[in-house]
Structure 1
Amino acid sequence: MSGKTLWSIIFGLVIINCFTLGFFLSKNQGVIPVSNDPQTSETIATIGDTSITREQWMAELETRYGKDTLKELINVQVVEELAKKYDISVSDEVIERELATYKSMYNSLDEEQFGNEENWRDQIRYSILLEEILTRDVSVSEKEMKDFYENNKDLYNIDESYHLSHIIVKTENEANQIIRELNGGSSFEALALEQSIDEFTANSGGDIGFVSKDNEYVPAAYLEAAPKLGKGEWSEPIQVDTGYAVLFLHEKLEGKTYSFEDVKGQIRRQIALEQMEGTVSVEPLWEELGVTWFYGEKSEK
């Protein structure tokens, strides 16, 4: 398995851990059972002569999502307890490095869907702790790690990148009007939703994600303008094929090359996980802490 493939798998596992709860909250959208009988608990909705009580609502939430939500809570606590037991920790420096790598490889971290960056940091920390716990007894030689690094150096080079949004309109006068509204305090995202003619980004507030300095899929003028912007600043009108654009800089990601020592721990985990050839899962660890829960003594596989 190549380093790039394994990296993608590990990132995917982080995403799964991050958004399992969101998945369960988005599926099985049925009708909440209601009753015409008087309820002693608080009424939270009425439809004609029918009421929905807080008790009904909570019971339905537990029926649909309770088991999976509880499992996620248990998993987090199991990882925390075992990390303490084995004296495993994750530094802020490591978390920030992995966050930067995710940004550079996967464009934008969609805050509406995935939560803010603090949530991402929490999930990265959780994922690393879990991997360290699972691989703590796996032996990986220095030579294996150095060979992996030499063969996959491109994984550890982060290009200078810019998190950009844009608003595209047909004329320069319209672009200047956008700038006047921004100067007057209007939201860039709201203006993009209302006025941008770029159908691919308008609905996301004009967000085009992280763009590296050698990106071939955005106008060259964007890459000339972006370095001149400060965080939270917008550009003058930029002529593009479909009209004129106003560019907004959310964040600049400095280019960096990580040394072997910088990423040695990450490489060890990657190789160890590949050797294990198993699923990165918390549930096999439940027995070590004697976990019991509402749905039985241990997790159902």
Structure 2
Amino acid sequence: MRSKWLIGVSAFLLITNIGTLIYFTSNDKGDFLLSSHVAEVGEESISEREWVEVLKQRYGKEILTQMINKKVVAQLAEKHEIRVSEKELKREIDLYHRMVGAGADAYEHPDIDRMNDEELAKEIEHAILLEELITKDVVIKEEDLRKYYKENQHLYDLKPLYHISQIVVPTKDEAEQIMQELESGSSFSTLARERSIDEFSAPSGGAMGWIDVNSNYVDPAYFEELSDMGRGEWRGPIEIQQGYGIVYLHDTKEGTRYTYEEVKGQIKRQIAIQQLGSDFDPKQLWDEVDVSWEYGSN
């Protein structure tokens, strides 16, 4: 369940962006106000009206479902006095970054790196509130909670995180030439797009997202340099498996170990959701708020 909502964060933002387009291109009566063209194909054109109508037909129900779910969860959380503290939210964001580190950012979910901090925090807060609502009536024995923590302590022993980009080239001479261009003021991301041979990170300007020593997508040689680098610093050439790399450090997060008491609530939700199975649909909460929509019955 945890992995499902993590992936869902990225999917929700994609749908929400489409929904925002539809919203801002309609009037209060729901009639589209668009008339300009978005594409010219030979002597024919595609209007914004046509484009948005297709988006609404294909994604309209999913968008509206997500929007309703957000409001339902917010209203029920207020009704049941369920809140997420800043401390808990920060902890969940830290755990999230580690669950979707370089592997997700650079390879599996490239849209994740485009979220700003506020968007990410809102989506994770929504996910926590939803989990709390789903599991609020489930009782888990204290001994089971402690057992889970003991068996999964590695999940709560967080190593330092590094937000990095890289440029990978086949030879040391080329790496040294790129270093000289960086010293002269050239853009790291531009050079990564133009010169890096890493097929996954090059298109995004060398971005590798947040990584730690357990990341499988980063050459271990980088970590020998990252531990004493400062934000905004690049370093190289570093001999790696693909050739020679230059690594740029955007930001760092200190490691920490969360105690049982700090993550007890999360563990309770995790076990409870596993017990409930995967059949739960947030739409099951709609009746408690009395939802009606244009697609008929739930």
Class of the TM-score when normalised by the shorter of the 2 chains: 0.7 to 0.9
Aligned pair 1:43/2:36, yes or no? Answer: yes
Task: Give the fraction of aligned pairs with identical amino acids, expressed as a percent.
Answer: 38
Asked whether the 8 Å contact 2:101–2:215 carries over to 1, the reply is no
In structure 2, C-alpha distance between the alignment counterparts of 1:223 and 1:41, rounded to whole Å: 52
Q: Specify the SS of the correspondent of 2:227.
A: helix
Q: Which amino acid aligns with 1:270?
A: Q
Aligned pair 1:73/2:67, yes or no? Answer: yes
Compute the displacement of 1:251 (Å): 2.5
Asked whether the 8 Å contact 1:18–1:123 carries over to 2, the reply is no
> Compared with structure 1, are the counterparts of its residues 112 and 10 closer, same or farther at alpha carbon in structure 2 (3 Å cutoff)?
closer
Report what 1:35 is aligned to: none
Q: Specify the SS of the correspondent of 1:292.
A: coil
- Which segment drifts farther, 278-287 or 68-77? 278-287
- Which segment drifts farther, 148-157 or 70-79? 148-157
> Compared with structure 1, are the counterparts of its residues 247 and 285 closer, same or farther at alpha carbon in structure 2 (3 Å cutoff)?
same
Report what 1:116 is aligned to: 115
**Higher alpha-carbon Rg:** 1
Asked whether the 8 Å contact 2:189–2:206 carries over to 1, the reply is yes
Q: Which amino acid aligns with 1:11?
A: S
Aligned pair 1:16/2:14, yes or no? Answer: no
Decide which of 75, 83, 86 is 2:80's aligned counterpart.
86
Asked whether the 8 Å contact 2:157–2:256 carries over to 1, the reply is yes
Q: Which amino acid aligns with 2:289?
A: L
Q: Which amino acid aligns with 1:273?
A: I
Cα deviation, 1:153-205, whole Å, max 9, x if unaligned, reads: 12211122323222122444432332233234433222111111233432333
Compute the displacement of 1:21 (Å): 6.2
In structure 2, C-alpha distance between the alignment counterparts of 1:234 and 1:185, rounded to whole Å: 12
The 5 Å alignment of 1:142-221 reads 142-213=142-213, 218-221=218-221
Cα deviation, 1:215-267, whole Å, max 9, x if unaligned, reads: 68754532211112112210142233554321111232322111011101101
Compute the displacement of 1:135 (Å): 1.1
> Compared with structure 1, are the counterparts of its residues 191 and 94 closer, same or farther at alpha carbon in structure 2 (3 Å cutoff)?
same
**C-alpha RMSD over aligned residues:** 2.8
Q: Which amino acid aligns with 2:229?
A: L
Q: Which amino acid aligns with 2:250?
A: H
Aligned length: 277
Asked whether the 8 Å contact 1:161–1:212 carries over to 2, the reply is yes
Give the gaps of 5 or more residues in structure 2. Answer: 19-32
Aligned pair 1:104/2:98, yes or no? Answer: yes
Report what 2:291 is aligned to: 291
